[in-house]
Structure 1
Amino acid sequence: MVNDFYYDNLEQILAFTGGRNLLNIKEVLAFTGLKDYRAIHRRFTFIDGYISAATFARQLCGGKKKSRV
């Protein structure tokens, strides 16, 4: 089941990035307003410094962060 806010988050993220599907760490910092790289890495799953818009939207609305193996 999809969280009620997932699509709202995804729409805002895609508008922020101009339709690009991958965000780098600096873009996530700008979008969230957080200032600390450590806080971003604790909350969101990055692979090689990027996160997909779909994963970011899911994790923003409380979706589980998957550990990188």
Structure 2
Amino acid sequence: MSNYIIKPMQTESEMDGKGHVHYQSYQEAYTGLMDAEYLSSMSEKSVRKSPTNGRKTFWLLRMERK
């Protein structure tokens, strides 16, 4: 069984995880739909550097397995 927790993103690990998901989802979802030069200019490092995009609070859903 799994428990789900909705909470503010706080730790470096949570920010890195959000950055990874953001980067990977853009690469997979928009290849062939967006300009290839724009997608190739993105780097996972740059996305991870600013994971909240200027928001004060960014919420995340975390799954915990028992």
**Greater strand fraction, Structure 1 or Structure 2:** 2
| TM-score greater than 0.5 by the shorter chain | no
With normalisation by structure 1, the TM-score equals 0.32
Greater relative contact order (Cα 8 A, min sep 6): structure 1 or 2? 2
Rg: which structure is higher? 2
